[in-house]
Amino acid sequence: MKLDFTNRSLNCDIEVPGDKSISHRAIMFGAIAHGDTHIKGFLYSEDCKSTLSCFRQLGVEIKELENEIIVHGKGIQGLKKPLEHLDVGNSGTTIRLMSGLLAGSAISATLFGDASIAKRPMARVIKPLSEMGANIKGSIDGNYAPIKVTGTQLKGITYKMPIASAQVKSAILLAGIHAEGETRVIEPNPSRDHTERFLRAFGGAIFTENNEIVIKGNQQLHGQLLHIPGDISSAAFWMVAAAITPGSEVKLLKVGLNPTRTGIIDVMKEMGSDIEIEELESTGEPYGNIIVRYSNLRGTVIDGELITRLIDEIPIIALLATQALGQTTIRNAEELRVKETDRIAATSEQLSLLGANIIPTKDGLIIKGGSKLFGAEVDSCGDHRIGMMLAVSALVTDGPVILNNADAIAVSYPTFINDLNKNLC
Ligand code: S3P
């Protein structure tokens, strides 16, 4: 795909699609609750469609209307044994959360996904779930998909997580809902807390204090009416596009502002971005408008607990850093090695092809800003976020960018390239 955006700018209001993490959980909680869950703002992307079709295979009735999805939940006991293996596609959230959810069910199922899923570590969920008494087996040394889960009666545990991961935390909590006794999860630092918010909203008993989350076992959840805000991880591409392209101003409408996800805003402010937040009234997940204008930027250091709050935004932050004055250092981000692709390698390799001065390290990136990028042929490496970062780079290159494997973008934001093309001035 040829992206010829040189000397163009952006001046627009954009409503980005619904939050991916929240959309997955909306279907999952709707399915194990009793009664109907109405979902507005669901993200129709490849990843979330995988979750939707897995639950249909489990016998959950899901109605798709023009502006909402209705999940007819019949509780965990309402799930039916699927006739075929469950295909999670490219979605790590689907396979890891469903492993926990199915572990305490009354059915057995096998979860598998695409070539990227087959390479991602699964022991991180299999280990704690096994401690809860789950009958769960991974492939190849037990660490990889396909994962076979045979539902059984679980018992609550206390689990001290070695890494901050919302997927691991959520798998344990989803298993804990139907376990005997209390389940306690201790995080090294707070990861996104959508699952905890869902548990509370669906009438569950959950207590959080500092980095500890405790839930009661054998709980019954009840269907809810949900409004899903825009995904800040999708908004991030527009935010950076506006920040690095002279003459640009973008207003992003109704974007999720959950504090466990807003690290990108903190970093952009620190780098000197012209960025304004208008918070809107909310009873569930916080949300609001984000306005970003072009400005001069300076390098920064990104590490420690901040990494968890912006883990999915690091590829686009790397592009931002190429346009800043001075050096940006990103460290403590070794988790990027096991995302949809090795994002440390993919980000540094692809941005280097465009002339960026970027060095990969074992747990991050060192970017020397201020180098002029040129048009070249690059590849999404099958990773949606690498694909969108490279599409945005075409705004600051001196000639067209040829983006191969652009279809990977559909995993989280199917209309991104179209929306970008439509809004260029
Ligand atoms: C997600 C958690 C994060 C994030 C992923 C979505 C979630 O993964 O990178 O895109 O929805 O829980 P980890 O839990 O592996 O950090």
Whether 173 and 275 share a structural domain: no
Is there an atom of ligand 1 within 6 Å of 21 CB?
A: yes
CA dihedral 290, 293, 298, 300 (to 10 degrees): 10
Residue 371 has pLDDT above 90, yes or no: no
Of 227, 255, 277, the residue that ends a domain is 227
Is there an atom of ligand 1 within 6 Å of 170 CB?
A: yes
* Residue 200: per-residue pLDDT: 97
* Residue 191: per-residue pLDDT: 98
The model's confidence at residue 131, banded by pLDDT at 50, 70 and 90, is very high
The model's confidence at residue 283, banded by pLDDT at 50, 70 and 90, is confident
Whether 71 and 169 share a structural domain: yes
Whether 300 and 334 share a structural domain: yes
Is there an atom of ligand 1 within 6 Å of 311 CB?
A: yes
Residue 210 has pLDDT above 90, yes or no: no
Whether 84 and 208 share a structural domain: yes
- Which residues, in sequence order, are CB contacts of 188 under 8 Å at separation 6+? 161, 162, 163, 164, 211
Which amino acid is located at 179 in the chain? Answer: A
User: For residue range 65-84, what is the model confidence (pLDDT) as tens digits?
Assistant: 999 999 999 999 999 999 99
Domain range for 162 is: 20-227
Whether 212 and 288 share a structural domain: no
The model's confidence at residue 189, banded by pLDDT at 50, 70 and 90, is very high
Q: Kindly give the pairing relationship between strand 401-404 and strand 377-379.
A: parallel
Share of the chain above pLDDT 70, in %: 100
User: For residue range 87-127, what is the model confidence (pLDDT) as tens digits?
Assistant: 999 999 999 999 999 999 999 999 999 999 999 999 999 99
Whether 73 and 158 share a structural domain: yes
Closest protein CA for atom 4 of ligand 1: 312
Whether 283 and 181 share a structural domain: no
Distance CA 54, CA 88 (A): 7
Whether 257 and 370 share a structural domain: yes
Whether 256 and 389 share a structural domain: yes
Q: In the predicted model, what is the mean pLDDT of residues 211-236?
A: 97
| Residue at token pair 């592009």 | 319
Of 177, 205, 227, the residue that ends a domain is 227
For 178, other C-beta atoms within 10 Å of its C-beta total: 22
Share of the chain above pLDDT 90, in %: 98
Count how many residues are written for the chain. Answer: 425
Range 308-337 burial, b when 16+ CB lie within 10 A, else e: bbbbbbbbbbbbbbbbbeebbbbbebebbe
- The DSSP-derived string for 254-278 is EEE--TTTTHHHHHHHHTT-EEEEE
The model's confidence at residue 211, banded by pLDDT at 50, 70 and 90, is very high
Whether 139 and 174 share a structural domain: yes
User: For residue range 243-261, what is the model confidence (pLDDT) as tens digits?
Assistant: 999 999 999 999 999 999 9
* Residue 206: per-residue pLDDT: 97
Nearest 5°: CA angle at 370, between 367 and 372? Answer: 110
Angle between helices 20-32 and 46-57 (to 10 degrees): 10
Distance CA 127, CA 131 (A): 6
The single-letter DSSP state of residue 100 is H
Whether 73 and 8 share a structural domain: no
Residue 64 has pLDDT above 90, yes or no: yes
Is there an atom of ligand 1 within 6 Å of 412 CB?
A: no
In 3D space, the residue among 94, 88, 98, 86 whose CA is nearest the CA of residue 129 turns out to be 98
- The DSSP-derived string for 135-151 is EEEEETTTTEEEEEEE-
Residue 282 has pLDDT above 90, yes or no: no
| Diameter of the chain measured on Cα atoms | 61
CB 322 within 8 A of CB 358: yes
CATH number at residue 250: 3.65.10.10
The model's confidence at residue 409, banded by pLDDT at 50, 70 and 90, is very high
Q: Which atom of ligand 1 is nearest to the CA of 163?
A: 16
Counting the structural domains of the chain, the total is 2
* Residue 151: per-residue pLDDT: 98
Distance CA 39, CA 233 (A): 20
Distance CA 188, CA 184 (A): 13
Residue 176 has pLDDT above 90, yes or no: yes
Arithmetic mean of pLDDT over the chain: 97
Residue 401 has pLDDT above 90, yes or no: yes
Whether 221 and 242 share a structural domain: no
Q: Which atom of ligand 1 is nearest to the CA of 97?
A: 12
The model's confidence at residue 128, banded by pLDDT at 50, 70 and 90, is very high
User: Rounded to 5 degrees, what are φ and ψ at 336?
Assistant: -60, -20
**Is 312 labeled as catalytic in the residue annotation?**
yes
Alpha helices by DSSP H, listed for 90-248, are: 92-103, 123-131, 166-176, 194-201, 232-244
Of 209, 227, 245, the residue that ends a domain is 227
In 3D space, the residue among 238, 277, 245, 237 whose CA is nearest the CA of residue 258 turns out to be 277
Q: How close is the Cα of 170 to the center of ligand 1, in Å? A: 10
User: For residue range 14-38, what is the model confidence (pLDDT) as tens digits?
Assistant: 999 999 999 999 999 999 999 999 9
Q: Which of 87, 231, 312, 379 is catalytic?
A: 312
* Residue 301: per-residue pLDDT: 98
Is there an atom of ligand 1 within 6 Å of 19 CB?
A: no
Q: In the predicted model, what is the mean pLDDT of residues 412-419?
A: 97
Q: Kindly give the pairing relationship between strand 327-330 and strand 364-368.
A: antiparallel
